Amino acid sequence: MLPRNRSGMSNKPTVFVREATGLVKNVSLLDAVSMNAAWMGLGATIALLPLYTVFFPTMSGVNLVYGSAIGFLFVLPQMYIYTIIQRRVPRTGGDYVWMSRQLGGLFGSAIGLTGACLNFIAFVAILILSAVFSIGSVGVALGNSSFLGLALPGNVQGADPTSQFILGAIIFTVLVLINIVSPKYAIRILTVLVVLGVAGIVLALGVLLGAGRGGVVSYVNSLGITNTTYDSLASSYTGPTFDLGNTMVLMPFYFLFLFPWFNMSTIAGSELKGKSALRWSVPISGISVFLIWTIVFAVLYSVAGQSFINVAFANSTLVFDYGFNFWTLAMGVANNFAVSLSLGIVWIIWNIIFLIVTIMAVARYILALSFDRFLPSKFAYVSPRFNSPAVAHIFDLVLAIVLVGATAFYYGQLSALSATAIGPMLFFMFVAIASIVYGVRTKTEQSIVRVGLVVAGILSAAVFAFVSYEFAIFPSIYGGNSLSYAFLFASFIGGLIIYIAHKSYLKKQGIDLSLAFKEIPPE
C-alpha cells in the first residue's frame, strides 16, 4: 500500500501538482459578465482613446461608431471559440489550457508564459500609474491645480513621480491583499464596482444629452485656449463621414484594449458556478460592452458633432494639457460640482476595476502554469484558509511594485513596455490555431461544432495576424519598439528553456512533464 500524506493523498508523484486546484466555485453569471466587462476595460478605455488618436496620421474619415461595428464583427469568430472553450474546458487559465493541449507543452507553455502571463506583469505598472493619473486628472478638472503632479507622466516637467509611486503602491497593495484574504469578497467588490461604473457611464451620457451642443460649445470656449474655440475646431475638419482605410487604423486599439478581452471568465473557469455562467457569460459581456461603447460615441457625435470630436481627439493641446476625453467633457458640461465630482469618481473607479481584474487574471495564469508543473509548484499554492492563490498574488505584488517604481521615475523609457500588449494578440492567434487543430483532430464533437471551430479558428487567426501587422506598421501610434519586441522574444525563448530544463529535472523524479499537456487538469 502506498504511503499517504496528511491530506490522505498518495505520495506517489502525479502528473499535476495535486488532485484539485483548491479554488472555490464563487463566480455567478453576473460576476462572470462583470469580470469580462472589467477585463475589457470599458470605462477606462473610453478615456484612453484620445491618447492614441492624437498620434493618428489623419482623423479624416475615422468613424468611431462604424469602427466599433467593424471591430465587433472581426471578434465574432473568437467569441464563438471562447464560448466553446469555456464549456469544454472550465478550468483555471482555460484558454491557456485549451491552447497548450492542442499545440503541445513545449510551444504551448512558452506562448502561455509570454502572452498570458509576463506581458500583464510588465503592463500592470502602466495600469497602476494610469489609475494615479486619473486621480490627478480628476483633481485638475475640478479646479485643484495641486493634483497636477499626479496627473502628468514622469517624463513631463511638473510631474511628481515620488507621490505617484507611493500612491500607486498603496492602491495596488490594498487590492492584492483583498484578493488574497477573500477572493469571494474581491469578486463581489468587482461586480458592484462594474455596476456602479456602468451607471456612471449612463449618467455621463445623460449629462451630455442634457447639455446638448450648446453645453459643449460653452465648455470648450470657457477653456480660454488661444485661437481655439468650438467653432474653429469643428470648422477645421474637412474630411468625409467615413473612410474605411483610415478607420481601420483604429483596429489595433480596439483589439489591444477592448473587444477580445471577454476571456476573464474563461481564465477563472474552475470558479464558475452554474451552467448559465459557463454558457452565456462570454456572449453577454461581449455584446453588452460593444453596445455601450458604440452608444457612447454615437452620443458624442450626436451632441458634439463628428467634425469636432475628430479634430479634438487629434488636438495635442486639448488631449495633453486639458485631458480631453469622454469623461472630462461630461464633467465640463455638467455645470454642477456634485455631478462633475461623481463622474470623476466613476472614471477613477474604472481604473481601479481594471487593476483588480488584472490582479485576478495574472494570479490565475501563474497558478495554471505552475499546476502543470511548468513553473515552480510553489506558485500553485492555494491558501486553505482563504482559498486564494496567495503565493502567485505575492509574486505579482512584489514584481509590480518594483516595476511601478522604476516606471514612475523613468516613464519615458519604461513606458515602452506597454507595447508588449502585442503579446496577447499573438496568444489569441495561437488559441485560434489550436481551435483549428481541435476541430480537425477530435472525434468526439458533433460535426457542426468541429466545422465551426475550424472556420472560426481560420477567421480569428487571420484577424489577429492582421491586427498584429497593423500594430507593427504604426509604431508612432501603438508604441511597437525594440524594447517591447526584445522583451517578448526573450520571454518566449525563456519559456522554451524553462520547459526543457524542468522536464529534465522532473524526469529524475519519475514525472513525465509532457503528460500534463495531454490531459485536462482537475478543478
List, for residues 115-130, the tens digit of each pLDDT value. Answer: 888 777 777 887 888 8
Q: What is the pLDDT of residue 5?
A: 40
Per residue in 338-368, pLDDT tens?
999 999 999 999 999 999 999 999 999 999 9
Indicate which CATH number applies to the domain containing 111: 1.20.1740.10
Report the SS3 class of residue 10.
strand
Confidence band, pLDDT 50/70/90 cuts, at residue 418: low
Structural domain contains residue 315:
yes
Q: What is the pLDDT of residue 153?
A: 78
Mean pLDDT over each residue of the chain, to the nearest integer: 90
- How many structural domains comprise the chain? 1
Residue 3 has pLDDT above 80, yes or no: no
What is 267-296 written as a DSSP string? HBGGGB-SHHHHHHHHHHHHHHHHHHHHHH
Structural domain contains residue 17:
no
**pTM, entire model:** 0.92
Structural domain contains residue 8:
no
Q: Which backbone phi and psi does 153 adopt, to 5 degrees?
A: -60, 155
Structural domain contains residue 22:
no
Residue 79 has pLDDT above 90, yes or no: yes
Q: Which helix H or strand E contains 223, and what residues bound it? A: none
Structural domain contains residue 488:
yes
Angle between helices 326-334 and 275-304 (to 10 degrees): 60
Residue 151 has pLDDT above 50, yes or no: yes
Phi/psi region, residue 225 (left: phi>0; alpha: psi -120 to 50; beta: rest), is beta
> Which residues lie across from 27 on neighbouring strands?
272
Q: Which domain holds residue 496?
A: 30-518
Residue 2 has pLDDT above 70, yes or no: no
Per residue in 23-63, pLDDT tens?
999 999 999 999 999 999 899 899 989 988 999 999 999 99
**Max Cα-Cα span within the chain:** 87
Structural domain contains residue 487:
yes
**Burial (CB count <10 Å: 0-12, 13-18, 19+), residue 316:** exposed
What is 404-433 written as a DSSP string? HHHHHHSHHHHGGGGGGGHHHHHHHHHHHH
CA distance to 216, 236, 346, per residue, from 340 (Å):
14, 29, 10
- The residue type of 28 is S
**Site of grid cell 452565456:** 280
Q: What is the pLDDT of residue 417?
A: 63
Per residue in 449-504, pLDDT tens?
999 999 999 999 999 999 999 998 988 888 777 878 888 899 999 999 999 999 99
Residue 8 has pLDDT above 50, yes or no: no
Whether residue 263 contacts residue 40, with contact meaning beta carbons closer than 8 Å, is answered with no
Q: What is the pLDDT of residue 356?
A: 93
Residue 10 has pLDDT above 90, yes or no: no
Structural domain contains residue 3:
no
Alpha carbon 402 to its chain centroid, in Å, reads 21
Structural domain contains residue 77:
yes
CA distance to 143, 437, 496, per residue, from 516 (Å):
57, 18, 16
